[in-house]
Amino acid sequence: MKKLSIVLGAALLAGTALAATARAGDDITITSWGGAYQESQRKAFFDPYTTAGNKITEAEYNGEIAKLRAMVEAKNVTWDVVDVDTQTALAACAEGTLETIDWNKLGLDRSKYIGADIQDCAIPNIIYSTVIAYDTTKLNPAPTKMEDLFDLQKFPGKRALQKNPFVNLEWALIADGVAPADVYKVLGTPEGVDRAFKKLDTIKKDVVWWESGAQPPQLLADGQVAMASDWNGRFYAAVKTDKKPFKIIWDRQAPDWDWWAIPKGTPKLEASYAFLKYASDAQRMADQTKYISYGPSNKDSSPLVDAAILPDLPTAPDNMKTVLAVDPQFWADHGDELRERFNAWLAQ
C-alpha cells in the first residue's frame, strides 16, 4: 500500500523517437476496453502503427480475467496484447497467465515508467481514475464531495455505479466514517465488509449498475441518473467532444494504472514486443492525452503534454488533494471473494 501511494505520488512530479515496427505481414490482435478510451488508443497508437506498415486487429472486453485464463489454459491464445487494470495484471501474473516482460528486449529504461516496479508482467501505459460526475443543469445545490453520492435527501435521483465491488466498497466505508488510511485494514475484516455493504444498502434501490464505461455518460445525458461513477476520461470526452454539461467531483478519486500485457503463449511474441515498444514512446503517450484525459506513465511525456489538458488529468495537483490511494494488491488477493459476495448481495 505504501509503495503504491509513493509511485502514484511520483506522478505529480513526472513531468525519442523509439519507433519500432513489426515484421511486415504480422497481424497482432490487441484487446482493450472500447469506447472513448480505445478510440484514443486508436488515434495515438493503432492508426499510426498501421500506417507504418503493420497490421492490427482490435478486440474489446470488460476486463474479465477468466477470458485470459481460459485462452492460456486451452493453449489457444488469440489475443496478443491486452490492456489490463492493475489488479488483473497482478493476479494474472501470479497465476502464470501473462508473459514476464523482458525490458532488455524492449530496449526501454524501466525506471522512466511510473509504477513499473510494482510488477513484472506488464508495462504501465496510463494513469486513470474512477470518479463521480453530475449534470450541472440538474442538481442545485451542486454536490462537492464523494459522500454526497450517498445523500439521497439533499441530492435526490438515481446513481449509476459500476457493477463491481471495486472502489464502491472503499467509498462506502469512507462515507460511513472510516478514515481513508484505514479503509483496507477495515475492508480486510468480515465486519468491515459487512459495514461496507450496509452502507451501500442505503442507496441500493436507487442505483443503476453499469458494466461498460460508455454507459454512465449516456445515463447522465438521458436524465436517467443524477450522479454517476466512471473513469475520468469518459466524462472528459462527453464534456469536450459531446459538449455535455457534466462536472467531475475529484474528491476521493480512485487512481489506478492501465497496463499493456502479453498473454502467455501467444504465437506472435516478437510482434507483440514490437508494438509495446512503439506504444511506450514518450511522444506517443503524450499524444494520447489529446484524445482522452489520462496521465501518461512515461515520465518523459509530461513536458510534451499540452498545458491546456494538464488540469483535466487525474495527476494534476489540485485533483490529488483528497485522493483515495487504491490498493490493487488487496484486490488481487481478495477480489474473487468480494466479487462473489457482491453478486450475491445484488441478487438479494
Mark whether 213 and 269 lie in a shared domain: no
Distance CA 324, CA 170 (A): 8
Distance CA 316, CA 232 (A): 13
Q: Are strands 27-32 and 55-60 parallel, antiparallel or unpaired?
A: parallel
Phi/psi region, residue 115 (left: phi>0; alpha: psi -120 to 50; beta: rest), is left
Whether 196 and 273 map to the same domain: the answer is: no
Q: Are residues 31 and 134 in the same domain?
A: no
Asked if residue 192 and residue 212 are part of one domain, the reply reads yes
d(CA 23, CA 278): 13
Range of the domain at 232: 130-254+322-347
So what's the pLDDT on residue 125? Answer: 95
CB atoms within 10 A of CB 43: 15
Q: What is the pLDDT of residue 170?
A: 98
Q: Are residues 177 and 188 in the same domain?
A: yes
Long-range contacts made by residues 327-330, C-beta under 8 angstroms, separation at least 24? 327/1, 327/4, 327/184, 328/4, 328/85, 328/86, 328/87, 328/90, 328/118, 328/256, 329/1, 329/4, 329/87, 329/90, 330/1, 330/184, 330/187, 330/188
Residues 207 and 331 in one domain: yes
Q: Identify the three-state secondary structure at position 248.
A: strand
Q: What is the pLDDT of residue 163?
A: 97
pLDDT at 323: 94
Q: Does 301 share its domain with 331? A: no
Low-confidence residues of the chain: pLDDT under 70: 1-25
Res 11: pLDDT: 46
Q: Do 87 and 97 have their domain in common?
A: yes
Instruction: Tell me what pLDDT residue 136 has.
Output: 95
- CA separation for the pair 249, 76 (Å, rounded): 43
H-run or E-run covering 231: strand 227-231
Q: In Å, how far are 26, 31, 32, 129 from 42, measured between CA atoms?
A: 18, 11, 10, 20
The number of folded domains in the chain is: 2
The rounded distance, in Å, linking the Cα atoms of 237 and 215 is 13
Whether 326 and 181 share a structural domain: yes
272/157 same-domain check? no
Note whether 212 and 266 are same-domain residues. Answer: no
Q: Tell me: do 219 and 272 sit in the same domain.
A: no
pLDDT score of 273: 97
C-alpha cell at 135: 449534470
* CATH classification at residue 8: 3.40.190.10
